[in-house]
Amino acid sequence: MLIDTHAHLYMEHFDDDIDDVIQNAKKSNIKKIFLPNIDSSTISKMLKLVKKDVDFFKPLIGLHPGSVNENFKSELKIIRNELEIRKYYGIGEVGIDLYWDKTFEKEQIVAFDTQIKWAKEFNLPVIIHARNAMDLTIDIIEKNLDKNLKGIFHCFTGNIDQAFRIMKTGFYLGIGGILTYKNSGLKDVIKEIPLEYLVLETDSPYLPPVPFRGKRNESAYIKYIAKQLAETKNISLDEIEKSTSENASKLFNLIPV
Ligand code: NI
């Protein structure tokens, strides 16, 4: 079995064929898909998708760093309210993104800090998005670390030092399509990381694995990522499936299937 720990299948990219996408995922032996939120505008679409199959889809709630702007406090209020009124499986995706724009760096840090505190309060894992800000993001996690704080560095693309710092915090590395890209350098890093720190994800509709680069990504393609991980670590595909699924089940507190 496989678990996709990160997919935005509620986005408009899937409006025309979501039922096929779900069927493809199930045929590919995926048992659960975790849906990270973006901001207040995506919540209702995400919850609508969850309703299609509540055992299969597991919603996360959070404010994405790319959506943090001068209105972030009112956005956070909506996120907080959701946390209080509904069952969510984690806080995500949250973090720091300085790739496009550094205008709201301070606000991004405040929003991230606030949501980390909520994760601790509700005893939920944090799903972290870090882009052009890996060291800063790890600093913030280290500063907030206690025995309740846990989560995933989603779409990890850092270097070996950063990977080891993350391992020390007990967080997982989310491995996606980038592992299959020729010049990513990620394979050399992941070779050194024990299986007990790795989970799989697609980040659909983004970052499709080879041979689908340039196309829309979907959860079924996770098998290409799993195959690449098996090859990179020279471990059987069965072992990869078993260990990444166990890690995800443990993190998200799922009853073993
Ligand atoms: Ni994402």
Domain positions in the chain are 2-251
Q: Please tell me the predicted confidence (pLDDT) of residue 256.
A: 58
Q: Is the pTM of this model over 0.95?
A: yes
SS3 251: helix
CB-CB contact of 80 with 112 (8 Å)? no
CA of 38 to the centre of ligand 1 (A): 8
CA of 247 to the centre of ligand 1 (A): 19
Structure tokens at 5: 């720990």
CA of 238 to the centre of ligand 1 (A): 26
Specify which residues 223 forms β-bridges with.
Answer: none
Q: What is the pLDDT along the chain (257 residues), one digit of tens a residue?
A: 999 999 999 999 999 999 999 999 999 999 999 999 999 999 999 999 999 999 999 999 999 999 999 999 999 999 999 999 999 999 999 999 999 889 999 999 999 999 999 999 999 999 999 999 999 999 999 999 999 999 999 999 999 999 999 999 999 999 999 999 998 899 999 999 999 999 999 999 999 999 999 999 999 999 999 999 999 999 999 999 999 999 999 999 997 54
CA of 146 to the centre of ligand 1 (A): 25
CA of 36 to the centre of ligand 1 (A): 6
CA of 206 to the centre of ligand 1 (A): 8
CA distance 241 to 7: 18
The residues near 131 (Cβ < 8 Å, ≥ 6 apart) are 65, 95, 96, 97, 98, 99
CA of 137 to the centre of ligand 1 (A): 16
98: number of Cβ within 10 Å: 17
CA of 129 to the centre of ligand 1 (A): 7
CA distance 113 to 231: 37
CA of 128 to the centre of ligand 1 (A): 9
Specify which residues 33 forms β-bridges with.
Answer: 4, 57
Digit-coded pLDDT (tens) for 139-157: 999 999 999 999 999 999 9
CA of 7 to the centre of ligand 1 (A): 7
CA of 239 to the centre of ligand 1 (A): 26
CA of 156 to the centre of ligand 1 (A): 12
CA of 87 to the centre of ligand 1 (A): 20
CATH superfamily of this structure's domain 2-251? Metal-dependent hydrolases (3.20.20.140)
